């Protein structure tokens, strides 16, 4: 059992204007840390966190109206002032872009610090394939930020074992400095609901079987392989329909693919929906999918929110055998892992589950039990508080 930590400063450089995976992660972490200690948040665009009661935060800084250097300067000023006036026991920073100042401040004032790492910044930047001068400058600063922060922080929280291995290899970080804490699910929101009731509410056909994907429609999610698998699934299970919940850069391409292979009428693309409605779509489904691609994902592994949320709702999942995801499926017994980027294998696993109600029920029960016991956000917060106590 962790000991009391009086206060934590949490620094996050992204805006809460959307319900992205990273924003949900931070909001859940805030909400659960706040059960046990005072948390002060330093971040832009905080209107999205007003429903999280008890959280203290610096005056709202909306970087929409500021160029990046001015915004960074203002947040740093507030952080410096707050550290001097009300010194935190621990500063917790989510690594993003090139924030040098928080860790430099901690080093100067001897404030214990933790950095949370969800990916390698350079991998994120390389997705754009840009060769512009601005991109090269930004990349240089991002790389230097990672090196500086990982060297001078007191502890690093990595969301996967593979990411920990990369940090050790690329930045010569001592392995004992890194603690792996996977993502979690809000098991109070993501829970089993009556399937007929939610389908009636969403105006879905109760006579059909539904396959559901939830998430950002980005290239690395591999949703096109779900579309390509549809003809194989429909050949064996013609009453299947597909729900694609979310929005993103790949949406138009996915619509085009579905049209080209003649399955448009079997797919529903919901677009962006309120976060509180996501459990309804998951519970309306018979099987949920996470068809991640190998590129980018295999290198650092994945601790994807959607997989924990699917399991928390008691739904069996079919997911690519990416490190982190495969281990979750194996340990939980909550689904089937398949080779990445293989529509036929994805289809075979989906058909196997669609055809076996007993298997779906068993996997659903096992998956929810595992997430409750091992991956609740309360449990994540407690593990972080244990680290805070160690470094104070």
Q: How many CB atoms lie within 10 A of CB 240?
A: 19
Q: How many CB atoms lie within 10 A of CB 69?
A: 8
- Phi, psi (rounded to 5 degrees) for 242: -120, 130
Cα Rg for the chain, rounded, in angstroms? 22
What residues contact residue 115 under an 8 Å CB cut-off, 6+ apart? 93, 94, 95, 103, 149, 150, 153, 155, 156, 157
| pLDDT score of 73 | 75
Q: Which CATH fold would you assign to the domain 195-374?
A: Rossmann fold (3.40.50)
| pLDDT score of 222 | 95
| pLDDT score of 328 | 95
Which residue in this structure is represented by tokens 């085009």? Answer: 256
Longest dimension (CA), the chain: 67
Q: What is the DSSP letter of 63?
A: G
Residue extents of the structural domains in the chain: 7-184+376-391, 195-374
Please answer whether residues 55 and 32 qualify as being in contact, where contact means their C-beta atoms are separated by less than 8 angstroms. no
Half-sphere exposure of 237 (CA within 13 A, CB side): 23
Q: What is the DSSP letter of 35?
A: T
The C-alpha atoms of residue 226 and residue 209 are separated, in whole angstroms, by 15
| pLDDT score of 111 | 96
The C-alpha atoms of residue 131 and residue 292 are separated, in whole angstroms, by 27
| Coil vs helix vs strand at 10 | strand
Mean pLDDT by 10 residues, the chain (392 residues): 78 75 86 91 66 58 56 80 92 84 94 92 59 73 88 95 93 95 93 97 97 94 97 98 95 97 97 92 98 85 92 98 95 97 98 97 97 94 95 92
Q: What is the DSSP letter of 323?
A: T
Architecture of the 7-184+376-391 domain? 3-Layer(aba) Sandwich (3.40)
> Which residue(s) pair with 391 in the sheet?
none
Which residue in this structure is represented by tokens 């994945």? Answer: 302
Cα-to-chain-centroid distance, residue 192: 21
Same topology between domain 7-184+376-391 and domain 195-374: yes
Q: What is the pLDDT of residues 142-197, one digit of tens each?
A: 888 889 999 999 999 999 999 999 999 999 999 999 999 999 999 999 999 999 99
């Amino acid at each position: 059992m962790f000991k009391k930590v009086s206060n934590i400063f949490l620094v996050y450089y992204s805006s809460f204007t959307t319900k992205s995976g990273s924003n949900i992660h931070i909001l859940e972490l805030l909400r659960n840390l706040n059960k046990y200690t005072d948390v002060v948040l330093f971040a832009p665009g905080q209107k999205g966190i007003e429903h999280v009661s008890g959280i203290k935060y610096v005056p709202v800084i909306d970087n929409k109206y500021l160029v990046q250097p001015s915004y960074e300067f203002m947040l740093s000023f507030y952080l410096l002032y707050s550290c001097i006036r009300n010194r935190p026991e621990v500063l917790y920073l989510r690594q993003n872009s090139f924030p040098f100042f928080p860790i430099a401040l901690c080093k100067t004032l001897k404030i214990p610090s933790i950095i949370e790492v969800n990916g390698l910044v350079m991998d994120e930047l390389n997705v754009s394939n840009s060769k512009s001068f601005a991109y090269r400058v930004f990349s240089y600063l991002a790389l230097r930020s990672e090196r500086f922060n990982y060297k001078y922080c007191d502890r690093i929280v990595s969301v996967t074992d593979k990411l920990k291995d990369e940090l050790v290899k690329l930045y010569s970080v001592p392995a004992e400095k890194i603690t792996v804490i996977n993502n979690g699910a809000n098991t109070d929101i993501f829970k089993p609901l009556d399937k007929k009731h939610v389908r009636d509410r969403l105006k879905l056909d109760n006579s059909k079987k539904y396959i559901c994907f939830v998430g950002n429609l980005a290239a690395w999610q591999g949703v096109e392989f779900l579309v390509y698998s549809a003809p194989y699934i429909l050949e064996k299970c013609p009453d299947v329909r597909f729900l694609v919940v979310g929005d993103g850069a790949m949406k138009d391409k996915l619509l085009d693919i579905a049209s080209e292979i003649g399955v448009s009428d079997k797919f529903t693309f919901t677009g962006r929906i309120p976060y509180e409605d996501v459990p309804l779509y998951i519970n309306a489904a018979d099987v949920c999918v996470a068809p991640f691609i190998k590129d980018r994902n295999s290198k650092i592994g994945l601790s994807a929110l959607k997989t924990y949320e699917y399991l928390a709702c008691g739904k069996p999942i079919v997911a690519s055998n990416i490190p982190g995801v495969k281990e979750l499926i194996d340990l939980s017994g909550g689904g089937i892992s398949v080779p990445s980027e293989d529509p036929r294998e994805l289809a075979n696993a989906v058909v196997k589950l669609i055809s076996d109600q007993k298997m779906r029920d068993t996997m659903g029960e096992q998956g929810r039990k595992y997430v409750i016991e091992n991956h609740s956000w309360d449990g994540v917060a407690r593990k972080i508080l244990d680290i805070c106590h160690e470094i104070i």
